Structure 1
Amino acid sequence: MKKLVFATALAIGGLTLGTAATPIIFHDGIMEELIVQDFKEIAVSDVPSTVVTALETDYSGATLNKAYVNAEGQYKLEVSTAEGSNLELYADAEGNWIEI
């Protein structure tokens, strides 16, 4: 009898697993910020000089490969360092580094 009840519970549970309305997403708060941010690619030449100056000052020898901006005026920069590693940096329009 116990096996029959257990088998029934498994069958009913198996049928309801695929019917969730929205997927469950586990995150630590950072993922939520990145989902909300909608960055659009821009030309590297369109990055404000304040951001470029901050990059040159704080990451000497780095090369700006790609740039993106969001509606809040925050910039996402894809950078190659002089040592050959790749970084993803975020800055506001004034050239202040931010964590997103």
Structure 2
Amino acid sequence: MKNLFLSAVIVLGGLTSFASTSSVSNTIVKTISIQDEYTEVKLEEVPVAITDALKKAYPDAVLSKAYKNEKSEYKLDVTVGDKVGNLFANADGTWIKK
């Protein structure tokens, strides 16, 4: 009799574990990649305000290349000593953090 009762408990217990539902959550992650298209411009086409701001902020900097996007923002390839980096500026010489 004990075996019959024990078997019934095991079977019913097993059925309840299959009957339980687990919550399924769908998480939607949207990734937006904003990349401005820059086109290379001649160094002579870089506004004087930007070159003056560059000389003031980094006196030893050498401007090697310049790029411009449709918003008139400039990307500057700059070398200071043995370090190479990029700076971003508006046409009026204001630095932009990117």
Per the alignment, in what secondary structure is the counterpart of residue 72 of structure 2?
A: coil
Identity %: 31
Unaligned runs of 5+ in 2: 1-28
Partner of 2:7: none
- Alignment RMSD, CA only? 1.9
Q: State the distance in 1 between where 2:87 and 2:30 align.
A: 25
Does 1:76 find its partner at 2:92?
no
Q: Aligned pair count? A: 70
Calculate the TM-score normalised by the size of structure 1: 0.64
Tell me the alpha carbon deviations over residues 40-61 of structure 1, each in whole angstroms, 9 at most, x when there is no partner. Answer: 0000111000000000000111
Q: Supply the AA of the counterpart residue of 1:41.
A: E
Does 1:94 find its partner at 2:92?
yes
- Which structure carries more strand by proportion? 2
Q: Which runs of 4+ in 1 moved over 6 A?
A: none
Unaligned runs of 5+ in 1: 1-23
Per the alignment, in what secondary structure is the counterpart of residue 87 of structure 1?
A: strand
